Structure 1
Amino acid sequence: MAENGKNERYEKGMLTRRQVLGDSYVDRAVANTTPFDTDFQTFITEGAWGSLWSRPHFSKRERSIVTLALLAALGHEEEFAMHVNATQNTGATAQDILEALMHVAVYAGVPSANSAIKIAKRELQKLGVQK
């Protein structure tokens, strides 16, 4: 057990979450946690970040590309935008995002890819990566 009462998977997950999403994003998420969603925040920190994103086989760039494709295919626009912003920390490029969305268009449908491309363009423009 880690010193703050959280387990090692949680601590590893929080480190990875901060590496991918950035300290300011994670600090806001932690500050906005209430008793209602404490268990959920612990679950995603341990499961998504401490287990999945911390696995060694894929690089953070590769996980980022896979995650973007899945979120776009499923139409999870808010999470997709968040992960476009995370590419600044994962090393995935604008070209990587476009290639992932081309796959989404073929395998999950043009409307899903079209929506995601609009979001990616908006977020990349905010980041100063695209005009």
Structure 2
Amino acid sequence: MADDSLFAQGMATRRAVLGDAHVDNATARTTEFDADFQTFITEGAWGSVWSRPGLSKRERSLVTLALLAGLGHEEEFAMHVRATLNTGATPADIKEALLHVAVYAGVPAANSAFKIAKQELAKRQEAAQ
């Protein structure tokens, strides 16, 4: 059973970080099969962790990028690079986080992440023109 207040906070934070379009798209694709999972991540990741006061959204964004890059979760990494538009993390911040990935998680992980970040940041630049 969902915690309505935690779910509501999670959805608000999720929308603030990922944007309405992304969240609307994810919500529209939710089925009976993954509805419980969507509730879990909305309450747990977004309502409990991302909504905590200890770190800014920018800081959480950078931690998330480093972890996703280090673990090789490329699709999620790309999504969170796009989300930096909403968190305040800059391309320079992303670069610094990925240099840490190279040292602590390995050069191959950082190399893949740099490639993805460059692609996502180029798309952002093209869209801005």
Q: TM-score, normalised by structure 2?
A: 0.95
Q: How many percent identity over aligned positions? A: 72
- 1:32-71 alignment runs, 5 A limit: 32-71=29-68
Correspondence for 1:22: 19
The answer to whether the aligner puts 1:89 opposite 2:86 as a matched pair is yes
Shift, 1:6, TM fit: 5.8
Correspondence for 1:107: 104
Distance 2:83 2:117 in 1: 12
Equivalent residues, number: 125
The answer to whether the aligner puts 1:127 opposite 2:102 as a matched pair is no
Post-superposition Cα deviations, 1:29-58, rounded to whole Å, max 9, x if no partner, equal: 000000000000000000000000000010
Post-superposition Cα deviations, 1:80-131, rounded to whole Å, max 9, x if no partner, equal: 00000000000000000000000000000000000000000000000118xx
Gaps of 5+ in 2: none
Distance 1:95 1:71 in 2: 18
Distance 2:56 2:85 in 1: 14
The answer to whether the aligner puts 1:80 opposite 2:77 as a matched pair is yes
Stretches (4+) displaced over 3 A: none
Distance 1:101 1:122 in 2: 15
Kindly report the root-mean-square deviation, in angstroms, between the aligned alpha carbons of the 2 structures: 1.1
- Opposite residue 36 of structure 2, the aligned amino acid is D
Distance 1:6 1:51, change over 3 A: closer
Paired residues of 2:3 and 2:43 also in contact (CA < 8 A): no
